[in-house]
Amino acid sequence: MLINADLHIHSRYSGATSDRMTIAALSVEAPRKGITVLATGDCLNNHWLQEIKSCAVIDEGTFEMNGTRFILSTEVEDASRVHHLLYFPSLSAVEAYKEKIQSKSKNLETDGRPNIAMNGEQLASLAKDVEALIGPAHAFTPWTAMYAYHDSLESCYGTMSPYVSFVELGLSADSNYADTISELHRLTFLTNSDCHSPHPVRLAREFTRFEVSDATFDEMKKAILRTGGNKPVLNVGLPPQEGKYNESACISCFTHYTLEEAMKRRWKCSCGKRIKKGVKDRIGEIATFKEPRHPSHRPPYVYLIPLSEIITKALGQHTPFTQSVTKRWEELIGVFGSEIAVLLDADLEEVARVTVPAVTTAIQAFRDHKVIIIPGGGGKYGTIELPSDDTPVIPVSLGPKNSQTSLLDY
């Protein structure tokens, strides 16, 4: 069976998260985005763990509410500020891991994403002890990421590097970026939302499609490890230009710079603030190859822009959180069942019967690769524009046209 999974989210017990990040709300919103499995996030936090326990138990590592499956996960920050993702096989494994790190963390029960005074090698060794999976979160972003502070997996994880089985690409990178780095070729790439809100513009804005026998932790683990016939078959995510750190830019005024310009300025913007190195430039520094060399196990990467973002532009709104955008999103989901169906699979004549012409035209532009992307950087998301005769921006390629025709092809 094929399932869509978003394996990096946060609870309302992490910083800067919505109060609506509850298990109940997530269980309802996930299927409307086309998601079968969510990672719980924040499972080391006791308050969130109690909420997880309100779900029906499928097996030791799998839980369910309203038809949505959950597997146990967390994100932690190590002593060097690098973030790591962990997936646990059972509640007992979570408790055992907590016991091992208890003395090394001052905010284990007060922050969903705790700081742990240990390095990547130590965290991975403890993960192996409890049979949890571990890998770098949003590996390329200029803050709190492996490649922000290390030049290699071994530098981060030491002797435990062979145990690392996956890398999360993050919103500002894709498979083409990451597969210019040879040490990543053996790893499974995960595309996840890292969402702090259940709003449709955030939840499952990136996800991974897996081939498994059942939607359980054990089957997901085998898929990440690519064993027993299980495997990822599709990475789905934003065009990397939409990420907040795609290009090098000022963290205050968001002026963009080439790598050469930033270096000449010693990473200081004309406004006096700091220029933050973008993912594209960082990968260029550490790349093994000038062009990506995809290993045979690497699945296709399909680019998606959240439907609510497309509707926002179609209606001339400034934010996807307005009532008018929500209304149009709800009416489409109500008819076609999920966001994936609307964006990629629904017949446009049927879409036109449900919504206003501007929204139909915008969805057609997305499918035809005519959406224009103005790259992000410095902590500001990239933006999209719909095509017009006088748009003075060169469209950013969304990849081969046949990669976007239908997720049913994979």
Print the domain residue range for 343: 306-409
Name the domain boundary from 196, 213, 241. Answer: 241
Per-residue pLDDT of 76-94, as tens digits, reads: 999 999 999 999 999 999 9
Tally of CA atoms within 13 A in the half-sphere of 65 that contains its CB: 19
Is 292 inside any structural domain?
no
pLDDT band at residue 404 under the 50/70/90 scheme: very low
Tell whether 56 is covered by a domain.
yes
- pLDDT reading at 374 higher than 70: yes
Count structural domains, the chain: 2
Residues 201 and 73 in one domain: yes
- Would you say residue 332 has pLDDT above 80? yes
Pairing mode of beta strands 2-6, 37-39: parallel
Q: Which two tokens stand for residue 77?
A: 């920050």
Q: Would 277 be classed as within a structural domain?
A: no
pLDDT band (50, 70, 90) for residue 397: very low
CA nearest neighbour of 307 among 335, 328, 323: 328
Taking the model in full, what pTM does it have? 0.94
User: Is there a single domain that holds both residue 64 and residue 147?
Assistant: yes
Q: How many other β-carbons are positioned within 10 Å of the β-carbon of residue 59?
A: 12
Residue 304's nearest CA partner among 404, 233, 375, 169 is 404
| 267 found inside a domain | no
Report the helix count and the strand count for the chain, using DSSP H and E.
15, 16
Q: Which helix (H) or strand (E) holds 167?
A: strand 166-168
- Same-domain status, 140 and 45: yes
pLDDT tens readout for residues 2-31:
999 999 999 999 999 999 999 999 999 999
Are 236 and 331 contained in the same domain?
Answer: no
**Token pair of 355, please?**
């919504």
Dump pLDDT digits (tens) for 25-54: 999 999 999 999 999 999 999 999 999 999
Residue with tokens 């029906």: 56
The pLDDT value recorded for residue 399 is 39
CATH number, position 190:
3.20.20.140
List all residues 6 or more positions away from 303 whose beta carbon is below 8 Å from its beta carbon.
174, 236, 237, 238, 239, 398, 399, 403, 404
Same domain, 220 and 357: no
Per the domain annotation, does 63 fall within a domain?
A: yes
Question: What mean pLDDT comes out for the span 225-234?
Answer: 98
Residues 237 and 312 in one domain: no
Region 185-212: mean pLDDT is: 97
How does the average pLDDT of the chain come out, rounded? 94
Q: Do residues 196 and 322 both lie within one domain?
A: no
Same domain, 152 and 71: yes
Q: Give DSSP secondary structure letters for 246-283.
A: SB-EESSS--B--HHHHHHTTTB-TTSSBEEPPHHHHH
Which stretch of DSSP H or E encloses residue 96?
A: helix 91-101
Same domain, 312 and 235: no
- Among 194, 214, 241, the domain boundary falls at 241
Domain presence at residue 318:
yes
Same domain, 134 and 36: yes
286 lies in a domain? no
Boundary-marking domain end, from 188, 218, 241:
241
Show the tokens assigned to 240.
Answer: 């990397």
In a domain, 265, yes or no: no
Is there a single domain that holds both residue 224 and residue 320? no
Q: Which two tokens stand for residue 91?
A: 């509640």
Residue 64 structure tokens? 């369910």
Mean pLDDT computed over 62-86: 98
Tokens of 276: 């933050």
Residues 234 and 342 in one domain: no
